[in-house]
Amino acid sequence: MTNARKIIIDTDPGQDDAAAIMLALGSPEEIDVLGVTTVAGNVPLTLTTRNARIVCELCNRTDVKVFAGAERPVARPLVTAEHVHGKTGLDGPALTEPTMPLEEQHAVDFIIETLLAEAPGTVTLCTLGPLTNIALALTKAPEIAPRVRELVMMGGGFFEGGNITPAAEFNVYVDPEAAEIVFRSGIPIVMMPLDVTHRVLTHRARVEKIRAIGSPAAVALAEMLEFFERFDIEKYGTDGGPLHDPTVIAYLLRPELFTGRDCNVEIETTSALTTGMTVVDWWQVTGRTHNAKVMRHIDDEGFFELLTDRLARL
């Protein structure tokens, strides 16, 4: 994997997080997963840490190191999403408890240590949940910021609005103070907002193609997606639900599937109505300095072809 892109996956699994981890682990020639760090988000930390190890075991990748991170946001109580993901976060298939070990080192320290040890500009942070771990790492060791190659995140929304409140997407809403720290850090950010992820729907035919692969990972993921999509089908009235988090990994593998533009993004942290809103200056009306490449469109067919192909390689 000498030419593979080095990444750390920071995650709160989550069925769509599971799909993202599987996509990364199914692409070893192109992606070198240095570690998986977990954060409280979709479900509490004990469950996100359990779930990350379950996904690695489904992929027969018990060599992947998993580190537990922050159990609560930087400055507010934790909000979770069992109403979407189920009580375990991976509801759907029958899953056994993981047997692979959890690393003793804290996720924040692993992130700092890795960025200081690897050559500057070689490690990409892939964030699939609240940005708490990254914000804590930046606060503890601000010297890591210029060493990050890129931070590719699932979070936020602009024309699409929010999914946990009318204004806010869940990952940013859970810890807006952390998001503010990250967006002001100077790290090159690529943002996958709801405007992109709501275009990649788990249509029944797409899920059946995944199930037909027949591997334990693919069958489990198909069952996860059938559970996961029920909430969004009822909410949005669509054929299938949005598959948010794998867009982060897909961008690393096939950036040509996406289009967007450089923007300024500010995070609302104080308003009772719009806390967690990502204020995206899409039309460049503020004159504020760009701090993120914000994606808006995706080739959804190409995305699902990529995902299905890489699941088949596991």
The predicted-structure confidence for 201-255, as pLDDT tens digits, reads as follows 999 999 999 999 999 999 999 999 999 776 666 667 777 889 999 999 999 999 9
User: pTM above the 0.95 mark?
Assistant: yes
1/189: higher pLDDT: 189
What sign has the CA pseudo-torsion 182, 11, 249, 156?
negative
H or E element: which one contains 110? helix 107-117
The answer to whether 5 touches 41, Cβ cutoff 8 Å, is no
* Percent of the chain predicted with pLDDT > 90: 94
Give catalytic residue positions. 244
- Whether 1 shows a pLDDT value over 60: the answer reads no
H or E element: which one contains 232? helix 216-236
Q: Average pLDDT of 114-139?
A: 98
- Residue 228 has what pLDDT? 78
* CATH number among 3.30.70.360, 3.40.50.300, 3.90.245.10, 3.40.50.920, domain 5-312: 3.90.245.10
Q: Average pLDDT of 267-291?
A: 98
- Whether 261 shows a pLDDT value over 70: the answer reads yes
- Read off the DSSP letter of residue 141: -
Token pair listed for 179: 């998001």
Q: Average pLDDT of 269-289?
A: 98
- Residue 102 has what pLDDT? 98
Map out the domains of the chain as residue ranges.
5-312
- Residue 291 has what pLDDT? 98
